[in-house]
Amino acid sequence: MLVTKGRRRLREGAAVALALALSLVTGGLAAAHAEEDAPLPAQEAAQAQQATLRELADQRGLRMGTAVGSQYLNQADYARTAATEFNSVTHENDLKWETVQPQRGQFNWTNADRIVDFAQQNDQMIHGHTLVWHSQLPSWVRDGSFSEDQLLDVMDTHISTTVGRYRDDIATWDVVNEPIGDDARFRDSVFHRTLGEDFIAEAFRMADRADPDARLFINDYNIDGINAKSDAYYELVRDLLAQGVPIDGIGFQGHLIAGQVPSSIQQNIQRFVDLGLEVMITELDIRIQMPATQQKLEQQARDYEQVVNACYAVEGCSGVIVWGVTDAYSWVPDTFEGQGAALPIDGNYQPKPSYWSIHEALGGDPGPGPGPDPDPTDPPSGECEAEYTVTNQWQGGFQAQVTVTAGADLTGWTVEWAFGGGERVSHAWNASVTSSGGSVTATDAGYNGTLSAGQSTSFGFVGTSSGSVSEPELTCAGS
């Protein structure tokens, strides 16, 4: 049984304070090996010194979550990996209506509580999934014949009981899941049949009454890029906001296929953020046609990097949740015949190339996998050098990356430049950036300040531009 210990829930940013404590916890994937008596092979020893994804995300105040199943938490490797690599958990199935209230008025919290307790023991955030969904509904709801008032009463009981129970524990909820089909029209369900599209606004009002502090999301798949379905969501949430419905965010589930990540994902995140919503990538996996080859895994790594970078480039995209701890626990092979290997950690708890591409996107090292290695034999002649690359451009804005390479052993660095064409930095990562007009000073973010001669690190930013985007002259000073 859950013991409520005051308001323990963590919000983005609060997790940062955990980084130090976590570094005392076992060292991520390599921990499974580090606990054995035998000396570590070189590659594993190198991994043991790497920060975990959780530590990197905590340092940046971002969510890096996973979906978990209560039935697996008694497996030591599973529990350790879920706790050390992720700062957020989502109930993959254990909070769904059919599990929580299988018969009318009979609530069963056993499995849901196990995950809440696990998250609290490990100081993790919880993203609540899900309250109103056409699927995994008990038959008494799915096939029920209700008047409007009766169904509103059924919804209110379910939502107020569930959200009320976890008021102190769960800070964000998928209130309504998948209400629109791939045809961009409202999906048939008992909710839509009985109440029309108003069931969505009603569900959000009910959740808000049950916990006015919770952040409330609508959530769906195939809305990651700009397309007819995400356009329908754009219209829907704009209407909900105009009606004063308490909706705070939208979840892009991100069930994707390797090599087919929509190129408009960042632009799509940005347009929902511009409406005033928080965006979260809530169920990310990127599936591969089996068998997985090195080439396919490298494509998948680039895909993960693209999604993670798209989120982290937009202030207002609060993070990413992957849909399972390892490939062994993914829903993909059960649903898509011949496809799998969709997650960043394989079934033997080994990091895949996509683990390392996320690691790098979060400001860590690219790991032992593919990726440009610094050339330690050829350091620059001064304290450091900085190279500026514009990586993306659009009307009124751009994204750039700066790579700092140390010429001597450094404990910190500062890069300065002046924009020539009216550009301005609006949101940076992996560096602390201050601007005065077009003059910019970027200093290391602490965790990436220490570089040995020849070693490199990168930071990036999104900027605004009023005309052309130039590549300015940089100066780099080390300490």
Are 479 and 412 within 8 A, CB to CB?
Answer: yes
Provide the CA 440 distance to its chain's centre, in angstroms. Answer: 29
Smallest gap from residue 344 Cβ to ligand G3I (A)? 16
Smallest gap from residue 436 Cβ to ligand G3I (A)? 46
* Strand ranges across the sheet with 431-436: 431-436, 439-444, 413-418, 475-478
DSSP E strands in 47-159: the ranges are 63-68, 88-91, 125-133
In residues, how long is the chain?
A: 479
Three-class secondary structure of residue 279 per DSSP: strand
- Binding status of residue 160 toward ligand G3I by CB under 6 A: no
- Binding status of residue 434 toward ligand G3I by CB under 6 A: no
Per-residue contact flags (x/-) with ligand G3I for residues 163 to 202, judged by CB under 6 A: --------------x-------------------------
Smallest gap from residue 282 Cβ to ligand G3I (A)? 8
Smallest gap from residue 177 Cβ to ligand G3I (A)? 6
- Binding status of residue 110 toward ligand G3I by CB under 6 A: no
**Minimum CB distance to ligand G3I smaller for 37 or for 143:** 143
Catalytic residue among 178, 298, 360, 423: 178
Nearest to 357 by CA among 450, 454, 446, 286: 286
Smallest gap from residue 321 Cβ to ligand G3I (A)? 11
- Binding status of residue 285 toward ligand G3I by CB under 6 A: no
- Selected from 12, 58, 85, 92, the binder of ligand G3I by CB under 6 A is 92
Backbone angles phi, psi at 446, to 5 degrees: 95, -70
Nearest to 158 by CA among 145, 172, 141: 141
**Minimum CB distance to ligand G3I smaller for 254 or for 363:** 254
- Binding status of residue 139 toward ligand G3I by CB under 6 A: no
CA–CA distance, 46 with 425 (Å, rounded to integer): 35
Q: Which residues contact 19 (CB under 8 A, 6 or more apart)?
A: 55, 58, 59
Provide the CA 186 distance to its chain's centre, in angstroms. Answer: 27
Catalytic residue among 85, 202, 283, 360: 283
The reply to whether 235 belongs to the active site is no
Q: Please give the structure tokens belonging to residue 209.
A: 């009454």
The reply to whether 197 belongs to the active site is no
- Selected from 75, 93, 264, 267, the binder of ligand G3I by CB under 6 A is 93
CA–CA distance, 324 with 322 (Å, rounded to integer): 6
- Binding status of residue 150 toward ligand G3I by CB under 6 A: no
- Selected from 43, 103, 110, 135, the binder of ligand G3I by CB under 6 A is 135
Nearest to 287 by CA among 329, 242, 257: 257
* Binding residues with ligand G3I: total (CB under 6 A): 9
Per-residue contact flags (x/-) with ligand G3I for residues 40 to 79, judged by CB under 6 A: ----------------------------------------
- Binding status of residue 411 toward ligand G3I by CB under 6 A: no
- Binding status of residue 283 toward ligand G3I by CB under 6 A: yes
CA–CA distance, 155 with 195 (Å, rounded to integer): 11
CA–CA distance, 151 with 157 (Å, rounded to integer): 10
The contact set with ligand G3I (CB under 6 A) reads 92-93, 135-136, 177, 221, 253, 283, 331
Residues tagged active-site: 178, 283
